[in-house]
């Protein structure tokens, strides 16, 4: 494609709407990054609103990470998409892999510039996350082996989530500590990282649960791989483990009961949706899981970071 076509905003607007909807991603990543910085601050005993610069760096960098994950998927799935999903933007020629590669590189340059601007040692955590992302992009050089083991594939890819979270929190604790190493990590942060890991699993399983009428040939949803009942139970199990981790994370900042109350309400809603889906898997019913997973994740992060911080300020 020529330069004019590459810079055509209409094509990129269509691409983001179909494959990286900013309307959905921006609020979720904004809540995620603000809460990550806020939770780190609360663990340190610093009950103040995060510095605007720290939050913006965490937010823009995290948003860029999720964009890079989407771009990596476009490369990984190109052959399968071309065969089974030719309607997607890359197979149908809306954008090219080369253009997406350039976009990912530009996003990396922005991440690097922001890290150097805020606190140069952040580049260490940034590089670690980039390295893991690069391994993921090549399926850890074990593509066939991983494809044959869906559970291992799932957890190995979800480890990127706590790494992104570690970077977002480092915009607070590393900057506040003024040291390039990991010595300044506040005690209890691991529970927040565990929450982000299992939240990723909740989202990933939730977006790949479908009613029988919505399954597509060549698309490996969890409702196909594991069967509808087992996949729904796995999703509920991930919610349960996330809830326990979130409760332990909330206890570290003396905010257990509000979080526990919210969790019980959300778990009840999720349980009702699961029961209804198993008893009436009508076309489109699977979309509820993705919607609930999004609301769950948003509420989870807000209740662990932004909520308690604003309550205590």
Instruction: Give pLDDT tens digits for 38-59.
Output: 999 999 998 888 899 999 999 9
> Sign of torsion, CA 228 232 234 235?
positive
pLDDT per residue as tens digits for the range 202-252: 999 999 999 999 888 778 899 999 999 999 999 999 999 999 999 999 999
User: How many residues would you count in the chain?
Assistant: 313
What is the reported pLDDT for 177?
84
> Sign of torsion, CA 253 24 169 239?
positive
Q: What are phi and psi of 285, to 5 degrees?
A: -65, -30
What is the reported pLDDT for 90?
95
What is the reported pLDDT for 198?
96
Specify whether the CB–CB gap between 159 and 132 falls below 8 A.
yes
Could you tell me the CA-to-CA distances from 44 to 98, 187, 299 in Å, in that order? 44, 8, 23
Q: What is the pTM of this model?
A: 0.93
The domain 21-179 is placed in CATH, from the list 3.40.50.720, 1.10.443.10, 3.10.180.10, 1.10.357.140, at 1.10.357.140
**What mean pLDDT do residues 184-193 have?**
93
- pLDDT over threshold 70, residue 88: yes
What is the reported pLDDT for 183?
77
Contacts of 129 (CB under 8 A, 6+ apart): 65, 160, 163, 164, 166, 167
- CA–CA dist 253, 53 (Å, integer): 23
Of 243, 241, 233, 242, nearest in space to 289 by CA: 233
Mean pLDDT is lowest, of 103-112, 158-167, 176-185, 263-272, for 176-185
What is the reported pLDDT for 5?
57
What is the reported pLDDT for 243?
96
């Amino acid at each position: 494609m020529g330069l004019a076509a590459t810079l055509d905003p209409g094509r990129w607007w269509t691409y983001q709407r179909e494959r990286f909807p900013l309307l959905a991603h921006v609020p979720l990543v904004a809540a995620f990054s603000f809460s990550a910085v806020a939770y780190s601050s609360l663990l340190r005993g610093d009950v103040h609103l995060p510095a605007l610069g720290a939050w913006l760096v965490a937010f823009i960098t995290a948003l860029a990470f999720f964009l890079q994950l989407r771009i990596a998927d476009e490369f990984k799935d190109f052959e399968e998409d071309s065969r089974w999903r030719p309607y997607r933007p890359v197979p149908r020629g809306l954008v090219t892999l080369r253009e997406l590669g350039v976009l990912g590189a530009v996003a990396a340059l922005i991440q690097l510039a922001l890290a150097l601007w805020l606190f140069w040692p952040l580049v260490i955590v940034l590089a670690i996350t980039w390295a893991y992302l690069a391994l993921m992009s090549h399926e850890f050089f074990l593509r066939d082996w991983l494809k044959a083991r869906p559970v291992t594939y799932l957890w190995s890819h979800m480890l990127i989530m706590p790494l992104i979270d570690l970077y977002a929190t480092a915009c607070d604790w590393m900057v506040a500590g003024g040291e390039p190493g990991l010595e300044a990590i506040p005690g209890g942060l691991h529970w927040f990282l565990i929450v982000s890991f299992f939240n990723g699993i909740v989202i990933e399983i939730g977006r790949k649960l479908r009613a029988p009428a919505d399954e597509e040939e060549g698309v490996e949803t969890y409702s196909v791989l594991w069967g509808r009942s087992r996949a729904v139970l796995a999703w509920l199990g991930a919610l349960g483990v996330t809830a326990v981790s979130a409760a332990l994370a909330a206890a570290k900042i003396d905010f257990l009961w509000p979080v526990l109350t919210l969790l019980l309400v959300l778990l009840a809603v999720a349980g009702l949706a699961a029961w209804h889906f198993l008893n009436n898997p009508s076309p489109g019913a699977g979309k509820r899981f993705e919607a609930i997973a999004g609301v769950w994740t948003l509420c989870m992060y807000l209740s662990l970071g932004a909520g308690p911080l604003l309550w205590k300020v």
